[in-house]
Amino acid sequence: MVTPLALLVIAIAPVIASPALKIIKYGTTPNGFSSPARGWNSFGLQANGNTAPGWSFDQSHVQAQCDVLASKLHTGGYTYCSLDSGWSEGSNGDQYGRIIPDKSKFPDLSGFATHLHSRGLQLGVYVVPGGFIADKAKHIYGTTTTIGSVCSGDNGLVRCNWDYTRPETQKWFNSVANQFASWGVDFIKLDYITPGSPSNGVNLPADESGEVIAWHKAIAQCGRQIRLDISWKLDRSKKYFSIWNQHADSMRTDQDINNSGSSTLVNWGTVQRAVENYRQFIVASLQYFTIINTHPDLDNLYVANDPSVDGITYAQQQTMMSHWIGAGANLILGDDLTKLSSFGLYLLTHPAAQGITSFTAQYPMQPRNPGSGNQGPKQMQAWISGPSPSGEAVVLLVNYGPDQGQGGFGTTTPGSQHMTISYADLGIKPPYKVYDVWNDNYWGNVSAGLDVGIGEGQSFLLHLTRP
C-alpha cells in the first residue's frame, strides 16, 4: 500500500532531465582512411597455441589463415593479414640497422605480400620503439651518422632510445618505412608506446609519443598508404590523446584480452574489461573532441570459432561483435580461421550488420544509462551511435551479467533482466522505426521508448530510422 506521504513525495519530486546528447563523429584518419581496419592478426594463435594444435608462426601457416580471409570473408571487408611479434629479426637489422624479416619464419616476405595483394588482401607487420643496440655502429641509410650517436640507453627490448630532436633519427624512420613500402606493407602495429603500455616488464621511457610522430612522418613520405595502429592501452589525457588523434589511425584502448597459454582464446570477464575501457575512451573523446581522427582498437575479436575454442558463448560472441561494430573499432580477428564456424561466418558477413558497420565508422557509440542518460558503467547498459542529420541512429542494449571483476559496474545480478529506456534517456526524440539487426525483426514504429528482457551476456543491436 502506498501511503499519502509517499504520494506527496512522488507528486512534488522534480523530474530530472537526461543530459543533452553530444553527437561525435569520426573524421578521416591521419593517414587518409575513412573507416577502421578489418582482417586477422596472428597474436591470438601465437599466445594460445593450445587452441590450434600443429599451428606455428611461419609464412605457410599464416598464409593458410589469410587465404580464408580471401575465400570466405573478403565480402565483409576483412582484408588485413597482420603479423605480430616475431616476424622480424629480434636482435639486429640490416647493414643500415633497418628492420628485416626473420627468414627462418618468413623466407620471402615480399613474395608473401604479392600473394596477399593478388587475392585482394593487405599485409601488416609489428614493430616496437627504438633502434637495435647491436646496430649502434652502423650508419643510418643516406647519412654519415651512426645509430649510436642518436640512440642511447636500453629500453629492455634489446633496443636503444632515439633522440627525436635529431633529423638523422627521422631519416632512420623514413628509410624503414620506405623499405616496408617496397615490400608491399600496408599496416604497421606499433607496440609498447608510452604513456600507456602498463605492466610492460621492460624499461621504456615515460614518453614515447615521439615514436608515433616519427612513424607518421615516415609513412607520409614513403609513397604508399599505410595504416598506423599504436598499442597498448594508451594514455587518454588531453595532451596525449591529442597526439594520438593527430598521428595514428587507430589506438589500443586496453591491454591484451586473449587468454595467454590457455585452452580458450578469451573469457567473458576480460571482454567486460575491454568494454569498460572503450567506455572510458569515448567519454574522454566527448570531453576533448567533436571529430575523432583515430579509431579505437579494442584488441582482437574472438567470435569466429566454436565457443569451446573462443571461450565465450554464442550470445556473448554476438554481443562482442556488436560492441566492436558499435565502437567503430578495428575488426581484427584472432581466431583460427581454418576452423571458421558457421555462426562466426554469419556474424562477420551479415548484410544488415555490414550496413551498421558503415554507419558506426562515422558515428561511434556512446553510453546512455537507462533512467538517467548518464554515462557511467552499468550492468544493464544502453549505447547510441548518431543520430545523423536524417535522424538515423544505432542503439545497443546489453545485459553484461554479473561483473566478473573488471567490468567497472560492480553489480552481480544474475539471470535475465528487464530494461526500459526512454528516448529522452538516449538523447533523441521520437518517433522511430526500429529494426532488430541480428534477429531480422522489425519492431515497427515505436514512440514510447524501448522495453526488452535481456539474458546474461545477451544484447540487441537496433537500427533506428524515421518513419
Return the active site residues: 191, 256
Instruction: Give the span between the Cα atoms of 382 and 365, in whole angstroms.
Output: 10
- Whole-number Å distance between alpha carbons of 426 and 421: 7
CA distance 92 to 99: 8
Tell the burial category of 12 from Cβ atoms under 10 Å away from its Cβ (0-12, 13-18, 19+). exposed
* Per-residue DSSP letter, 140: P
Are 248 and 384 in contact, with CB atoms under 8 Å apart? no
Cα three-residue angle 407-329-192, rounded to 5 degrees: 75
Please give the Cα distance from 165 to 153 (Å, whole number).
Answer: 16
* Contact between residue 242 and residue 288 where contact means Cβ atoms under 8 Å apart: yes
Give the C-alpha separation, 380 to 369, whole Å.
8
**Which position has the grid cell 616475431?**
86
> In 99-125, which positions are buried (b, 16+ CB within 10 angstroms) versus exposed (e)?
bbbeeebbeebeebbebbeeeebbbbb
Alpha carbon distance 316, 318 (integer Å): 5
Give SS3 for 393.
strand
Residue 72: other Cβ atoms inside 10 A: 17
Q: How many CA atoms lie within 13 Å of 397's alpha carbon, on the beta-carbon side? A: 27
| CA–CA separation, 63 and 71 (whole Å) | 12
- Residue 86 grid coordinates: 616475431
Lookup result for grid cell 595467454: 260
